Structure 1
Amino acid sequence: MTRLEIRSWLMDMDGVLVHEEQAIPGADRFLGNLRRRGAPFLVLTNNSIYTRRDLAARLKTSGLDVPEEAIWTSALATAKFLEDQRPGGSAFVIGEAGLTTALHEAGYTLTERAPDYVVLGETRTYSLERITLAIRLIVDGSRFIATNPDATGPSPDGPMPATGSVAALISRATGVEPYYVGKPNPLMMRSALNAIDAHSETTAMIGDRMDTDIVAGLEAGLDTILVLTGISTRESAERFPYRPARIVESVADLAAELE
């Protein structure tokens, strides 16, 4: 596939557009060039804490103008998946506004009484009381869903436990593994493609992680571009059994190609 055939763009947020709340140099130019060309795009994140409005406001503070409708989160992908699987269902949720809002908008009832699903997402403060209730509900028959498998998340003081770590605790206690909807599940890519009416053959996925962004893009049939402004290096990328179509230093390189 030649680069000229790319008509739509999916991109990770952290490590691609921003790093620790600061815009990555060239990110604003890249987004501006996509808008100028009228190219559909979505910014993807496995973070389920924030609503689209929250994330658009945070990006704007970093100097990046991304409209709400151009943001797709693991919370939205999870809500869409559950809406398709069991319309009008019920869920017990461990998570914050990004997840509870998405489920409400998908027509779900949030309850602690025999829910169809236990849905685990990201939260700043995991409550042992709610984790205990989740374990009991799953033992009693509720299905176990988690927004994403990330074991840790970043904080100013270093890594902190994230959804994957808490899911492992619940799985150990119940013997039940969750179904993860977010990256690297290609389901998140496909739901994003549907959201902007794009086709995999003419869409690129830009990411900074081989084990989530790039593998999810590959499995969904997208062109894949690894940027080196996040956690991956050229050397670390070589250790994986699969390769991105391209490796570039940053989105600034892509911005230049679109001019």
Structure 2
Amino acid sequence: MKVRQSLPSKGISRMYKGYLIDLDGTMYNGTAVIDGAVDFIDRLNKESIPYVFLTNNATKTQVEAAQKLLDMGFNIHPETLYTSAMATAAYLSETAPGASIYVIGSDSLKETLEASGLTITEDDADYVVMGLDPDINYGKLSKAALMINSGSTFIATNPDRKFPTEKGFVPGNGSLVSVLVSATDVEPVIIGKPEGIILEAAVAALDLPKDEVLMVGDNYDTDILTGINGGVDTLHVNTGVTSREEVEGKTHRPTYMIDNLKEWSVR
């Protein structure tokens, strides 16, 4: 593979002792498994190389996210999943245990937050937490805006503007968060990639130094910047959000770039 701007080609790679792996656009697009993804995980399993699926998707619980992979033919364990919903719950449990929260998001996000001892409310919340909500409407956005303008702290599970499905790209949480930012002039605390909050938790789960870990993903603004900002090497796969041409034009480029995970040797 020929890559401009000094990006290493396939075959030029270090051997990493652990992996952080994105889901949407890297393992699958919507309900369609990406070619080479199952084989990549099988090779990691065969070599007993540990990995954590690090996803900004906050619509599913850990078990639900794992079940999707299992149903697609991936040989994985639920504990390998770490979602932005889990990171949000951990962050709030540590910084504001027992806090009241108004949630825009899926029932699974609410379940994850409640399981951490947080109290979900519809009025006068300490925090407004926003994740991707398939049933978003004006009423929910209005209620959140009023709370934020009255002093509730604004939390966004992730900043993804869009994500790939089997039919094409659709709006992500970041696109909807921007509505509240416009209405309140308040920027949220972002928990998911590319912020360090979720990265540090995932690296700790691997129990490896950062220089022995590789971050794998398709979205430059989340996956790749997570590694660049956090001191972890990165592998961009051209199967999702950010195209090869866009990556090649970046000032700060990933450590590696490939078209398909079949090109990557784990040993």
> Would the TM-score normalized by the shorter structure come out above 0.5?
yes
Relative contact order higher in (CA < 8 Å, ≥ 6 apart): 2
Number of equivalent positions: 256
Amino acid corresponding to residue 112 of structure 2 in structure 1: A
Q: Which residue number in structure 1 is paired with residue 211 of structure 2?
A: 201
CA distance in 1, matches of 2:266, 2:95: 39
Instruction: State whether residues 16 and 250 of structure 1, in contact with CA within 8 Å, keep that contact through their aligned partners in structure 2.
Output: no
Instruction: State whether residues 23 and 53 of structure 2, in contact with CA within 8 Å, keep that contact through their aligned partners in structure 1.
Output: yes
Q: Does 1:120 align with 2:124?
A: no
Instruction: State whether residues 23 and 64 of structure 1, in contact with CA within 8 Å, keep that contact through their aligned partners in structure 2.
Output: no
CA distance in 1, matches of 2:168, 2:33: 20
Q: Does 1:163 align with 2:180?
A: no
Unaligned runs of 5+ in 2: 1-11
C-alpha deviation, 1:2, in angstroms: 6.3
Given candidates 40, 54, 76, the residue that maps to 2:50 is 40
Given candidates 222, 237, 254, the residue that maps to 2:247 is 237
Amino acid corresponding to residue 181 of structure 1 in structure 2: I
Instruction: State whether residues 208 and 230 of structure 1, in contact with CA within 8 Å, keep that contact through their aligned partners in structure 2.
Output: yes
For residues 194-226 of structure 1, what are the alpha-carbon distances to aligned partners after superposition, in whole Å with 9 as ceiling and x for unaligned? 233232121100111212111111111111111
Q: Which residue number in structure 2 is paired with residue 258 of structure 1?
A: 266
Given candidates 55, 58, 64, the residue that maps to 2:68 is 58
State the SS of the aligned residue for 1:258. Answer: coil
Question: Structure 1 residues 207, 36: CA separation in 2 closer, same or farther (over 3 Å shift)?
Answer: same
Q: Which residue number in structure 2 is paired with residue 88 of structure 1?
A: 98
For residues 100-135 of structure 1, what are the alpha-carbon distances to aligned partners after superposition, in whole Å with 9 as ceiling and x for unaligned? 122112211111232211000011110221211111
Q: Which residue number in structure 1 is paired with residue 154 of structure 2?
A: 144
Q: Does 1:7 align with 2:7?
A: no
Q: Which residue number in structure 1 is paired with residue 139 of structure 2?
A: 129
CA distance in 2, matches of 1:133, 1:109: 17
CA distance in 2, matches of 1:229, 1:223: 19
Map of 1:209-248 to 2, 5 A cutoff?
Answer: 209-248=219-258
Question: Structure 1 residues 140, 165: CA separation in 2 closer, same or farther (over 3 Å shift)?
Answer: same
Q: TM-score scaled to structure 2, two decimals?
A: 0.88
RMSD of aligned C-alpha atoms? 2.0
